[in-house]
């Protein structure tokens, strides 16, 4: 039971009838509750995320199962058995906030760990690689996969014209068109940090690291036909699956493993270790188990926690850091910038985003500051009163960088975009290869023949059988 009040606590007398001059007369502007309701309605919507707009989230726990303290000083990994509270959000990428879940698309896999030295956000996907190697093309990717400016329809032409013009996209395209391109649910997919990150140990040693989250529910996927039938009856199949599983206490779990590369190896391996379109072979850098992610609590309110959640790759903690991957470097700017626009400058105070350790950043003021704003504490630094002391003990080892500043053309300098997609193709069973051909043909739809041919040519460079299979499915000469 609760009594209805205005936003400022005054009792609402009548919530059924507007106040009018006589039973047939016009409204009276002293009906302040009516105007408050209308004004609030106009402001209920906030901008959706530019990509990854449709998503589902839940709270959970991360538990360490294996000692990796020789690689990182990060407190969340400091002892076997240690638990850290977390929040996760899974998404489709291209669809808007109301899009159907069971679409062929990559899935976002964003995790927020509330550690005692600040929040660590690992904002990954369900694929170990990405379409791009250079962030300059990211806004174009978004334009190519979203709606056409004239028809307002998704466009196979735009999509495939772009992808096939960028040879580095083939690896990711092959994964998205494979039998794994439509996960049956968020619980039934793996997650990846995708980029190369770094660890810094207590001994001040740097390691390059990749993060892998393997589903304990097993991989399950949908075919195009199954997905089409499902979307016809349930547009929210992923949201429903995750929410219901947690409600019935069937808590989904993922095993976190890492690949670790000693810092000096980066100059020796035959591939570019910071190239987001490549994986590191597991035979060179085997998976090392670290712990378990378990999601065990639904949000009480979707908007408050899931819609307002803000994940940013720049939310790092001591012992976990970045690499020279230029895609990652651009993401260090893009997310918090988007969130300052989407949620406001003080979005770090929204409970789902707030760190669960003491926070003393001397940013002040701004819209919706609700935490007391550090009262009368002087806010300049240096000051003579011991406030806002920097923490040099957390400095990372220096990073060696060399080379001339230029617009380096990696497509010429470092041009093998076909070996790894070819390896992936050759790993598939003949049945999986056939599914890949047919999914590709359906997805290319009414794209013009010259674009189809360009894709066939790219696939042929990865493996002649890949090109021939796609050509057959597209009924193109090959």
Stretch that binds ligand HEM, among 12-20, 234-242, 303-311, 393-401 (CB under 6 A): 303-311
474 binds ligand HEM (CB under 6 A): no
Among 110, 176, 436, 444, binds ligand HEM (CB under 6 A): 110
Q: Indicate the residue among 214 and 442 with the shorter CB distance to ligand HEM.
A: 214
Single out the segment in contact with ligand HEM by CB under 6 A; choices: 44-52, 151-159, 230-238, 243-251.
44-52
Q: Does 308 bind ligand HEM (CB under 6 A)?
A: no
Contact with ligand HEM (CB under 6 A): which of 19, 269, 332, 338? 338
Considering only residues 86 through 105, tell me which ones interact with ligand HEM, judged by CB under 6 A: 89, 91
Q: Does 55 bind ligand HEM (CB under 6 A)?
A: yes
The 3-class SS string of the chain reads CCCCECCCCCECCCCCCCCECCCCCCECCCCHHHHHHHHHHHCCCCCCCCCCCCEEEEEEEEEECCCCCCCCCCHHHCCCCCEEEEEEEEEECCCCCCCCCCCCCCEEEEEEEEEECEEEEEEEECCCCCCCCCHHHHHHHHHHHCECCCCCCECHHHHHHHHHHCHHHHHHHHHHHCCCCCECCHHHCCEECCCCEEEECCCCCEEEEEEEEEECCCCCECCHHHHHHHHHHCCCHHHHHHHHHHHCCCCCEEEEEEEEEEHHHHHCCCCCCCCCCCCCCCCCCCCEEEEEEEEEEECCCHHHHHHCCCCCCCCCCCCEECCCCHHHHHHHHHHHHHHHHHCCCCHHHCCCCCCCCCCCCCCCCCCCCCCCCCCCCCCCCCCCCCCCCCCHHHCCCCCCCCCCCCCCCHHHHCCCCCHHHHHHHHHCCHHHHHHHHHHHHHHHCCCCHHHHHHHHHHHHHHCHHHHHHHHHHHCCCC
Position 197 contacts ligand HEM (CB under 6 A): no
Give the separation between CA 96 and CA 52, rounded to whole angstroms. 8
Per rule CB under 6 A, is residue 52 in the interface with ligand HEM?
yes
Q: Out of 292, 310, 441, 473, which residue is the one contacting ligand HEM (CB under 6 A)?
A: 310
331: contact with ligand HEM by CB under 6 A: yes
**Binding of ligand HEM at residue 71 (CB under 6 A)?**
no
Cα–Cα distance measured from residue 311 to residue 292, given in angstroms and rounded to the nearest whole number: 20
Write down the residue that tokens 């093998």 correspond to.
416
Per-residue x/- mask for ligand HEM, residues 111 to 130, rule CB under 6 A?
A: ------------xxx----x
| Binding status of residue 336 toward ligand HEM by CB under 6 A | no
As annotated, the active-site residues are: 52, 125
Considering only 163, 211, 213, 311, the residue that binds ligand HEM (CB under 6 A) is 311
Find the shortest distance in angstroms from Cβ 125 to ligand HEM. Answer: 4
Number of residues that bind ligand HEM (CB under 6 A): 27
Closer residue to ligand HEM, CB minimum distance, 156 or 338: 338
| Residue selected from 19, 266, 330, 443 as contacting ligand HEM according to rule CB under 6 A | 330
Burial of 358 from C-beta contacts in 10 A (0-12 / 13-18 / 19+): exposed
Q: Which is nearer to ligand HEM, 31 or 85 (CB)?
A: 85
Question: Rule CB under 6 A: is residue 339 a binding residue for ligand HEM?
Answer: yes
For residue 138, state whether it binds ligand HEM (rule: CB under 6 A): yes
Stretch touching ligand HEM by CB under 6 A, among 306-314, 378-386, 394-402, 435-443: 306-314
**Which residue, 88 or 222, has its beta carbon nearer to ligand HEM?**
88
172 binds ligand HEM (CB under 6 A): no
Among residues 50, 83, 282, 363, the one that binds ligand HEM under rule CB under 6 A: 50
- Measured from the CB atom, the residue of 84 and 308 that comes closer to ligand HEM is 308
Give the footprint of ligand HEM on this chain (CB under 6 A): 49-52, 55, 89, 91, 108, 110, 123-125, 130, 135, 138, 194, 309-311, 327, 330-331, 334-335, 338-339, 342
């Amino acid at each position: 039971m609760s009594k209805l009040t205005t936003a400022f606590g005054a009792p609402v007398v009548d919530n059924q009838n507007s106040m009018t001059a006589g039973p047939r007369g016009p409204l009276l502007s002293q009906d302040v509750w009516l105007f408050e309701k209308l004004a609030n309605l106009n402001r209920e919507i906030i901008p959706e995320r530019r990509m990854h707009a449709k998503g589902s989230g839940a709270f959970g726990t991360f538990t360490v199962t294996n000692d990796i303290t020789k690689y990182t000083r990060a407190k969340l990994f400091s002892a076997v058995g240690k638990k850290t509270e977390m929040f996760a959000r899974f998404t489709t990428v291209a669809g808007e906030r109301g899009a159907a879940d069971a679409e062929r698309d990559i899935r976002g896999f964003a995790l927020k760990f509330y550690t005692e030295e600040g929040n660590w956000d690992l904002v990954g996907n369900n694929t170990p690689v990405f379409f791009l190697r250079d962030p300059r093309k990211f806004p174009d990717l978004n334009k190519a996969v979203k709606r056409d400016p004239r028809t307002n329809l998704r466009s196979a032409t735009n999509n495939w014209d772009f992808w096939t013009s960028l040879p580095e996209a083939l690896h990711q395209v092959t994964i998205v068109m494979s039998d794994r391109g439509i996960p049956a649910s968020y619980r039934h997919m793996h997650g990846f940090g995708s980029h190369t990150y770094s660890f810094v140990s207590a001994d001040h040693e740097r390691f390059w690291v990749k993060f892998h989250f393997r589903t304990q529910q097993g991989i399950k996927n949908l075919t195009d036909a199954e997905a089409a039938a499902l979307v016809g009856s349930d547009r929210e199949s992923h949201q429903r699956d995750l929410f219901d599983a947690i409600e019935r206490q069937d808590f989904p779990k993922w095993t976190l493993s890492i690949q670790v590369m000693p810092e000096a190896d980066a100059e020796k391996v035959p591939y570019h270790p910071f190239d987001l379109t490549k994986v590191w072979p597991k035979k060179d850098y085997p998976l090392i188990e670290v712990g378990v992610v378990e999601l065990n609590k639904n949000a009480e309110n979707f908007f408050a926690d899931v819609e307002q959640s803000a994940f940013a790759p720049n939310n790092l903690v001591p012992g976990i850091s970045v690499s020279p991957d230029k895609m990652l470097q651009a993401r260090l700017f893009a997310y918090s910038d988007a969130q300052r626009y989407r949620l406001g400058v003080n979005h770090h105070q929204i409970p789902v985003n707030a760190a669960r350790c003491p926070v003393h950043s001397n940013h002040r003021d701004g819209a919706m500051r609700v935490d007391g704003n550090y009262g009368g504490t002087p806010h300049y630094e240096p000051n003579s009163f011991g406030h806002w002391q920097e923490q040099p003990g957390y400095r990372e080892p220096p990073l060696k960088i060399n080379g001339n500043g230029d617009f380096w053309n990696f497509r010429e300098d470092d041009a093998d975009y076909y070996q790894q997609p070819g390896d992936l193709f050759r790993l598939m069973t003949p049945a999986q290869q056939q599914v890949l051909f047919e999914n590709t043909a359906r997805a290319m739809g009414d794209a013009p023949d010259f674009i189809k041919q360009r894709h066939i040519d790219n696939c042929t460079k990865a493996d002649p059988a890949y090109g021939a299979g796609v050509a057959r499915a597209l009924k193109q000469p090959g």
